[in-house]
Amino acid sequence: MYLRCGYVFTVLIFLITAYFHYILYDHVFKEILQSFRLRDKIEVMDKIFIVKREENEMGNNFKEDVLSRRTFAIISHPDAGKTTLTEKLLLFGGAIRDAGTVKAKKTGKFATSDWMEIEKQRGISVTSSVMQFDYDGFRVNILDTPGHQDFSEDTYRTLMAVDSAVMIVDAAKGIEAQTLKLFKVCRMRGIPIFTFMNKLDRQGKPPLELLAELEEVLGIESYPMNWPIGMGKEFLGIYDRFNNRVEQFRVEDSERFIPLNEDGEIAGEHPLKTSGLYDQTLDEIMLLNEAGNEFSAEKIAAGNLTPVFFGSALTAFGVQTFLESYLEFAPAPKARNSSVGKIDPLGEQFSGFVFKIQANMNPAHRDRIAFVRVCSGKFERGMTVNIPRLNKQIKLSQSTSFMAEERSTVDEAVSGDIIGLYDTGTYQIGDTLTSGKDDFQYERLPQFTPELYVRVSAKNVMKQKSFYKGIQQLVQEGAIQLYKTIKTDDYLLGAVGQLQFEVFEHRMRNEYNAEVLMERMGSKIARWVDGETVDENLSSSRSLLVKDRFDQYVFLFENDFALRWFQEKNPKVKLYNPMDQEA
């Protein structure tokens, strides 16, 4: 009895003591609990701050990356030195150690940008090459284009993928026909143009005459950034107006640059001042300062004024000065037209378009690469994108960057970059790629109507499989167009120039081991039928009805008279030329 009472008494004492402890220390427990809660909140806020900071840093880095891009094409008439200048730019950019020139058949050195076997054999560029390097905080993307007029379509499409252009002029020949054509395309697109007057180490036209010809023939204002001191065997260097110095030709690096004083002259005594060419240059500079155009970065950006540089690509003289000035004034990636308006290159949504397809860049693997210009957002390898033309999604797991035929896997790219996507037949030239929910199309790429036609077949019947594979892949590159006759299913090829057929024949033989027979059909006028059906009995020798590779009906007319006669006799058949259609 007493033990049971003692036990109850002990329990009561414990409970009373606990109650008083609770009352006395409740505020302490609450403060401790509050501190834990506050600590958790601080940790959460710290994590949120870190994430936000990382997002801001990523955003800032993305913007900086985009603004550091400089993507340009080099255009010129054949043999003006286009590919040689490209090589020297790569040399200064550290992308290559030794530069070859285009015409190097005896030495065995070939231009980095001329990677096809036929380019090495014939010493010409027949396809656009893409090269990338870093220089002084900039990421430079160069697109070296064919100069030959037969490959104008490839060049025109390439010009759709760049933000500026470098025009090379042979100082001995001045403005030539192909240069004029390509310049007009640049002006039509509002592309800023930088001019490099090449081959100053050879005798050429007087610089004032070159400048006058440039402005009169091309109809654009010019501003000489530098001026030659002599020419040919008497070429001593350039008077650099922009950097206020003289750059001497063929001297030691320590003597290369001579600073100018406030009057624009070499201070003190110098051997160069004893030359009459130096005095002549000062007179011409005075004339340019008084009567020439004023420098305007705004006009350069609008494509209304071209900075002019003099130099020699072969000897690499004036090339580095040109590169540094170009990077300073050339535009970063700009907004591009699309079916939903302008697309901001700094926008988050990835987008781009295919401007070129090239088969067999690696002959050992018989691969196909689709060249894509990134126009907005950030590309990441493995991402999924939409192809509006196909209304389907595709994962971009295999991507590459370029140094002509040399390639390396690229994991990321931003607006302004050119990337390559391995293609199994999915892409077409002009395809738009987008991420996210918003689908749109970039403006249509130019499509030339062929002028020359041949009937083509396999020379060896046993090689039919290789023949069909080769013709399908090469046609998808866009340099030639494929047609089939209605009743006989003969293959016809159409091209802008004869050289394209020669390249096709060479590549079929060397890349697909398929000899071909080509029967010339001469020039034709191609007109597409507006509609899905047409009376096939309208086909004749003077108005041959064929189908293109998209199964659209096309009439090939013998001449203008045959076209007009057909339209008068068949007014219900509506014909059109794809080149006349608006984007």
Cα 349 versus chain centre, distance: 20
Please report which confidence band the pLDDT of residue 568 belongs to, taking 50, 70 and 90 as the band edges.
Answer: very high
Q: Minimal CA–CA distance to 476: which of 371, 582, 338?
A: 371
Average pLDDT over residues 406-422: 87
Q: Torsion angle, CA of 126/128/134/140, rounded to 10 degrees? A: 130
Q: What is the pLDDT of residue 44?
A: 47
Q: What is the pLDDT of residue 406?
A: 60
Model confidence, pTM: 0.77
Tell me: the pLDDT tens digits for 52-73? Answer: 444 444 456 999 999 999 999 9
Provide the percentage of residues in the chain whose pLDDT is more than 90: 55
Q: What is the pLDDT of residue 111?
A: 47
State yes or no: pLDDT of 124 exceeds 70.
no
Please report which confidence band the pLDDT of residue 482 belongs to, taking 50, 70 and 90 as the band edges.
Answer: very high
Q: What is the pLDDT of residue 24?
A: 53
Q: Are 343 and 376 in contact (CB under 8 A)?
A: yes
Average pLDDT of the chain to the nearest whole number: 84
User: Mapping DSSP to helix (H, G, I), strand (E, B) and coil, where does residue 38 land?
Assistant: helix
- In this predicted model, which residue has the larger pLDDT, 367 or 308? 308
Angle of CA points 182, 183, 184, to nearest 5°: 90
Q: What is the pLDDT of residue 43?
A: 57
Average pLDDT over residues 372-376: 96
Q: Are 126 and 119 in contact (CB under 8 A)?
A: yes
Q: How many CA atoms lie within 13 A of 28 on its CB side?
A: 5
Q: CA 312 to CA 319: how far, in whole Å? A: 7
Please report which confidence band the pLDDT of residue 143 belongs to, taking 50, 70 and 90 as the band edges.
Answer: confident
Q: What is the pLDDT of residue 524?
A: 95
Average pLDDT over residues 301-319: 95
Q: CA 148 to CA 127: how far, in whole Å? A: 10
Q: What is the pLDDT of residue 500?
A: 83
Q: Are 481 and 493 in contact (CB under 8 A)?
A: yes
Average pLDDT over residues 549-575: 95
Q: What is the pLDDT of residue 148?
A: 52
Question: Which residue(s) pair with 519 in the sheet?
Answer: 455
DSSP 8-state assignment for residue 127: S
Q: What is the pLDDT of residue 408?
A: 78
Q: What is the pLDDT of residue 120?
A: 43
Average pLDDT over residues 350-366: 79
Q: What is the pLDDT of residue 123?
A: 40
Q: CA 282 to CA 264: how far, in whole Å? A: 8
